Homo-oligomer: A and B are copies of this chain.
Amino acid sequence: MSMNPRIAEAIEQLKLRTYYSAYPENPKAYPDEANEAGKLAFQKRLSNRFDELIADESISWLGEEVSPYMQVGLGIEYPVFSVDSLISNAKNARDQWSKISPEKRADILIETLDKVQERFFEIAYATMHTTGQSFVMSFQASGPHANDRALESIALGLQELTRINHEVNWVKNMGKFDLTIKKNFKPISKGVGLVIGCSTFPTWNTVPGVFANLITGNSVIVKPHPKSVLPIAIVVAEMQKVFSSHGLNGNLVQLAVDSLANPITKQLAEHPAVKLIDYTGGSEFGEYVESLPGKTVFTEKAGVNSVILESVGDAKAVFGNLAFSASLYSGQMCTAPQNIFVPADGIATAEGHLSFDEVVSGIQQAIVGMAENPKMGPFTLGAIQNDMTKNRVNDTLSSLGKSAVEAQVVNPEFTDARIMTPSVVAISEQDRNLWNKECFGPIMFIVKVENSAKALELAAFNAENKGAITCLCYSTNEGYCAEVEERMNSVFTPVSFNFTGAAFVNQHAAFSDFHVTGGNPSGNATFTDALFINRRFVWVGNRYA
């Protein structure tokens, strides 16, 4: 069977790692009417049952999503299934699917992405009103960027599944005769995969595991966060339809909706038929998942990301870049910086020396300035996904005798949006209880440290002990940059250097950037390296004399 040219291209891109995207990220690249149609489709769902999923065996319906923009419940209900029926369906579907060739699987999976692409705008509005992301981020992250990450799984999957010949005639000359053995090599899928989603990136963080499981012949149960169901529900529905259209069991991928009050995640995770678990979320539950015996587990947990400020060229450009990275989706990205380590005696800039306090106020002003810019603020900050995040930041601030920064941010469309401008708090090296743990949400600590060596030491210490997904370093000193790269890489943390302009530390591009290294406590896996695929199946070779 020959390889789908789109997948062959994607495989090549995985090696090149230059810019590549198979799905246009600009909403304007899509038909004019698509945006309005998507919005309307979303609006029609409100206060209705989501009826696109296979639901014959549903035992009830529920939904508890709340729009962070409107702060009212969406009223959408999803079918609820018993754990037994989810598992039983998943086992049956896997038995069928695992017999299909990897090439055919890839073709079908690519087709599901085409169908998902037709619903990018609807998914975007669904993402906005569950996560609080801005429209553009919702569109890009849950649409093209998620599809690109899914395609990455399909492509790398097919590459790995076909990296050896499946049928071999093994002939060994034994002197007087040839010994001939016919061999076959089969990539046997592990079983049922469970993919546990998070509330902030319900599709982007979910689809890599879903498609990696499917291309390798496993079936999938998606357990979305109860507050962020709709975006992935649309994706799962489209996938089920494509599977059914090929005469396959649509339950190859299922949506397991539960509620915050009655979660079923542990029941699913601990079920003996579930062999694979992908998880995105907090560290505590992540460690529980990692500890389950007999499971192959892929996690993205919390990290504490650092910025190291040693010296800069254009301070204004740096503060602007930092302000944007901190403000993008109000610091609710797992890649957002939390701690900025700055030497006590300040930093050198192209326009002269800046004291520590000047650095702090420069960053603060840049954030507030951006937040209050009506063309940027509301569309960068988006909304806070849930009250817990807002309360966590407020509690932290009040424990320090401070209150949240009060910027005048007005969202012209959603006056009730849950908005919070990132606060910047200057602390000292001694405030270890603040900089040595994740404080998820719109808050950054600027940590006054003895010198730049100490800045690196603490950033590396955090990465090694608490995990880090990103590190951003500003330095005009090449030797120092090399030191930072080596030291942070040694604790398996990538470093971005001197980002200004349109380069942001938060952004991890498919087909180029690895997302999470898997080498520090922020997670044990990567989007997308060979392990992300190969751990999902087992090579078995049979021999016929």
0/1 string, A141-185, CB within 8 A of B gives 1: 000000000000000000010011100111110100101010101
Whether B529 and A496, one on each chain, are in contact in the complex, defined by CB atoms closer than 8 angstroms, is: no
A503 contact from B19, B168, B517, B543, Cβ within 8 A: B543
**Nearest-CB residue, chain B, relative to A520:** B538
Report yes or no: A542 in contact with B168, Cβ–Cβ below 8 A.
no
Q: Are A165 and B498 in contact (CB under 8 A)?
A: no
Contacting residues, chain B, for A526 (C-beta < 8 A) = 539
Given contacts A512-B183, A513-B541, A529-B539, contact A492 B188 (CB under 8 A): yes
Interchain nearest-CB distance for A99 vs B (Å):
9
Closest to A14 in B: B164
A-B contact pairs, 20 of them (CB 8 A): A14-B164, A15-B164, A15-B165, A19-B170, A160-B530, A170-B509, A170-B512, A174-B502, A183-B512, A190-B519, A489-B542, A492-B538, A494-B542, A496-B543, A496-B544, A499-B545, A503-B545, A514-B541, A519-B540, A530-B530
Task: Judge whether A3 is part of the interface by a CB distance below 8 angstroms.
Answer: no
Residues of B within 8 A of A186 (CB): 489
Is A542 within 8 A of B170, CB to CB?
no
With both chains docked as a complex, state the minimum distance between the C-beta of A459 and any C-beta of chain B, in angstroms.
14
Report the bound CA distance from A170 to B543 in whole Å. 46
- Assess the B531–A495 pair: CB atoms within 8 A: no
Chain B residues near A16 (CB-CB < 8 A): 165, 168
Give bound CA distance, A489 to B545, whole Å: 18
8 A Cβ contacts from A185-205 to B = 185-186, 188, 190
Check A500 against B168 for contact (C-beta < 8 Å): no
A85 at interface by CB-CB < 8 Å: no
Residue numbers in B under 8 Å from A543 (CB-CB): 494-497, 499, 503, 513
Chain B residue nearest in CB terms to A186 = B489
Asked whether B183 lies within 8 Å of A542 as measured between CB atoms, the reply is no
By a CB distance below 8 angstroms, the chain B residues around A495 are 542-543
Q: Does A518 contact B (CB under 8 A)?
A: yes
CB-CB under 8 A from A14, the residues of chain B are 164
Classify chain A: how many residues form its interface, as a range: 35 or more
The chain B residue with its CB closest to the CB of A166 is B17
A493 located at the interface, meaning its Cβ lies under 8 Å from any Cβ of chain B in the complex: yes
Complex CA gap A544/B492 in Å reads 17
B542 lies within 8 A of A485 (CB):
yes
Beyond A19-B170, A514-B539, 14 extra complex contacts between A and B, CB < 8 Å: A14-B164, A15-B165, A17-B164, A17-B165, A17-B183, A18-B170, A170-B512, A179-B501, A183-B513, A496-B545, A497-B544, A512-B541, A513-B541, A513-B543
List chain A positions with a Cβ less than 8 A from chain B.
14-19, 160, 163-165, 168-172, 174, 177, 179, 181, 183, 185-186, 188, 190, 485, 489-490, 492-503, 509, 512-514, 517-519, 526, 529-531, 534-535, 538-545
- Please provide the 10 A-B residue pairs with the shortest distance between their CB atoms, ordered closest to farther: A519-B538, A503-B545, A496-B543, A19-B172, A499-B545, A489-B540, A179-B502, A497-B544, A492-B538, A530-B534
A512 CB, min distance to chain B CBs, angstroms: 6
With A489-B188, A534-B530: A545-B501 Cβ-Cβ less than 8 Å: yes
Q: How far is the CA of A236 from the CA of B171 in the complex (A)?
A: 33
A164 proximity list for chain B (CB < 8 A):
14-15, 17
Q: Which residue of B lies closest to A500 (CB)?
A: B545
Instruction: Tell me whether B535 and A531 are in contact (CB under 8 A).
Output: yes
Taking the closest CB of chain B, its distance from the CB of A287, in whole angstroms, is 11
Set of chain B residues within 8 Å of A17, measured between Cβ atoms? 164-165, 168, 170, 183, 185
Q: Are A542 and B496 in contact (CB under 8 A)?
A: yes
Chain B residues near A190 (CB-CB < 8 A): 519
Q: Please state if A498 and B544 are interface contacts (CB–CB under 8 Å).
A: yes
Write the nearest CB–CB distance from A542 to chain B, whole angstroms.
5
Instruction: List residues of chain B with CB within 8 A of the CB of A500.
Output: 545
Within 8 Å CB of A539, what residues of B? 514, 517, 526, 529
Give the residue name and chain of the B residue nearest to A529 (CB).
Answer: B539
Instruction: Tell me the smallest distance from the CB of A83 to a CB of chain B, in Å.
Output: 23
Closest residue of chain B to A15, judged by CB?
Answer: B164
Residues of chain B within 8 A of A494, CB atoms compared: 540-543
The distance in angstroms between the C-alpha atoms of A517 and B540, with both chains bound, is 6
